């Protein structure tokens, strides 16, 4: 698996990483052996950067991941978790909860340190607290050795400049905003972040199943015009003997300024397919066709979190 540097952290991350949200049964019921095998296959395929959160399965993802990683040498993988979001409407970015959350995550994951910790979905709260209270609390924990690098994650592009204009971060994670249909992360934020030396991570190459052949989930927030374009693009790929998910993954992982793209699944076969797809050349003609299909709805998305944070 090809790797890229994460900003100025010194970390080298695989261009495709394993997202452990599925281990928390966020999308479907998962069998224990299925979850354990998914982690093993991810590591075997070179997806040795693993991303999770206490929000995923309300702690279940971290617990399952901790069990799956027992006996695996700690220096053979890089581990990221998050804090601040604990349920759909439960957010707490106070300094007190920061300290508690780090210790709970360390216990669940069965490790003495986290490589990266991110403030999770900060667009749902007044973001000045992140700058004034949360980040300083994390820097103290970083000095203790429990956490190596700190950052933020979110959907609206506004969140990255808001925080980075006021304080230093090691890295950020954007999701569903560098895909075949939506490239706002690279268009609006990546050059700014790169100039500041902030490590850049992307998640959601399939944009919550939008860029797959799977039925679209009822909770998908994208406009109907975007969904219709995605169905046309998927059909076009099928007519040319390909899978839109393959094209989507290859596209998201190809950008040289994005250290890693996080994709999640509790299906080991999916992970093997992803690794195989990345070893194959990107079909430039098919990509051009699909980007043309998406052009009328390019960068259309939805509001996420507080209105003022979008």
Active site residue 77: no
Output the DSSP codes for 83-109.
ESEEETTEE---HHHHHHHHHHHHHHH
- On the CB side of 295, CA atoms within 13 Å amount to 7
Task: Classify 264 in phi/psi space as left (phi over 0), alpha (psi -120 to 50) or beta.
Answer: beta
For tokens 């340190």, the residue is 113
The one catalytic residue in 56, 77, 86, 175 is 56
Instruction: Please state the φ and ψ torsions of residue 247, each to the nearest 5 degrees.
Output: -65, -40
What is d(CA 261, CA 42) in angstroms, rounded to the nearest whole number? 14
Number of H helices, E strands in the chain: 12, 12
Query: Which of 247, 252, 242 lies closest to 288, judged by CA?
Result: 247
Residues labelled catalytic? 56
């Amino acid at each position: 698996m090809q790797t890229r540097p994460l900003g100025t952290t010194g970390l080298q991350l695989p261009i495709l990483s394993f997202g452990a949200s599925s281990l928390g049964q966020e999308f479907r019921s998962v069998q224990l052996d299925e979850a354990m095998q998914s982690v093993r296959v991810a590591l075997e395929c070179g997806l040795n950067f693993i991303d999770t959160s206490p929000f995923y399965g309300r702690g279940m993802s971290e617990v399952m991941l901790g069990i799956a990683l027992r006996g695996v040498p700690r220096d053979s993988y890089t581990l990221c978790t998050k804090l601040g979001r604990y349920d759909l409407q439960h957010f707490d970015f106070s300094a007190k909860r920061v300290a508690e959350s780090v210790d709970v995550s360390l216990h669940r994951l069965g490790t003495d340190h986290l490589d990266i910790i991110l403030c999770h979905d900060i667009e749902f709260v007044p973001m000045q607290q992140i700058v004034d209270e949360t980040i300083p609390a994390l820097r103290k924990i970083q000095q203790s050795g429990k956490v190596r690098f700190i950052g933020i994650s979110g959907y609206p592009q506004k969140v990255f400049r808001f925080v980075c204009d006021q304080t230093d971060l090691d890295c950020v994670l954007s999701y569903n905003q560098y895909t075949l249909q939506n490239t706002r992360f690279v268009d609006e934020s990546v050059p700014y972040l790169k100039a500041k030396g902030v490590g850049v991570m992307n998640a959601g190459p399939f944009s919550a199943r939008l860029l797959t052949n799977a039925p679209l989930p009822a909770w998908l927030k994208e406009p109907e015009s975007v969904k219709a374009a995605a169905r046309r693009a998927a059909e076009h790929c099928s007519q040319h003997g390909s899978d839109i998910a393959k094209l989507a993954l290859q596209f998201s992982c190809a950008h040289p300024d994005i250290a890693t793209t996080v994709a999640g699944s509790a299906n080991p076969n999916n992970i093997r397919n992803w690794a195989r797809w990345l070893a194959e050349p990107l079909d430039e003609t098919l990509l051009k066709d699909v980007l043309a299909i998406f052009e009328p709805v390019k960068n259309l998305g939805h509001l996420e979190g507080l209105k003022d944070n979008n």
